[in-house]
Every structure is written in structure tokens, then in C-alpha cells.
Amino acid sequence: MIQVAYAVIWWLILLLIGLITFPLMSRVCGRLPDKGYSISKILGLLLLTYFSWLFASLHLLKFGYVNISIAFLILLALSLYLGRKRLNFKNLPLKSMLISEALFTVAFALFLVYLRYKPIYDKDGVTIYQVMS
């Protein structure tokens, strides 16, 4: 049962990253029908990992929770600063956002089902099926 909780937490974290990056994407992709919401998670993950990698590579911070948290706060500040003029809650494309979120949730669930039944090989090449309970 704990695996289900972990999956829900991951889904919520990805949702939060997408929502935080949405103001930035609405500035960059404002002419798209969904104003860039469908690709905001991808860009958010890309920027979050880039900032974390940059801090660790420049030896500013050791990679860990603090590094990721600071990168997350920088992503939030960057998105709110650059997307502040485009952030209009009256003109949000809710239908497109819900369709995009539903597609992502279905793909995420299918990936979790795949991982549940994925064969695992040991060092001798023998297939071991580990079914998570």
C-alpha cells in the first residue's frame, strides 16, 4: 500500500512543478491554445534538474534536499517574475488543462503498471519477476 502513496506523492510533485512553471510557459507559448500548460511539466523538470546539476557542478551546494529545494525556489521565483504580466486567472484554458492533465495521469498510471510487472534480471541473466505487493 505504501507504493501507492509514493506514486500519488510523485504525481502531486509533478503537478506542482507543472503549475509553478505554467506562468513562465504562458509567456513563452502564449499563442498556443493551452498557453503552454501541456509542456510546462517537461520544462519545469528540465529547469529544476539543470539548476540542481549546476549548483552541484560548480560546487556551490552538495547534491541533496537543500540543493533541490533551492533550485525549486529559484524556479518559482523565475516563473513568477517572468510570467507575472501573463498570469491572468480569468483567461485560463481550463478545458485544455484538464485534458492535458488527464492524459498525463493515464500515461503515468500505465507506466506504473508496466513497472509493476517488468521483469528483473539477475547477474547471471536469469529472469526474476518481482511483483510489488
Residue 36: predicted pLDDT: 85
Residue 108: predicted pLDDT: 92
* Domain range annotation of the chain: 2-129
Residue 56: predicted pLDDT: 93
pLDDT band at 55 (very low <50, low <70, confident <90, very high): very high
Question: What is the CB neighbour count within 10 angstroms for residue 44?
Answer: 24
Q: What is the pLDDT of residues 27-43, one digit of tens each?
A: 888 788 888 888 999 99
Query: Does pLDDT of 63 surpass 80?
Result: yes
pLDDT band at 122 (very low <50, low <70, confident <90, very high): low
Q: What is the pTM of this model?
A: 0.79
Least Cα distance to 20 among 43, 51, 53, 52 occurs for 43
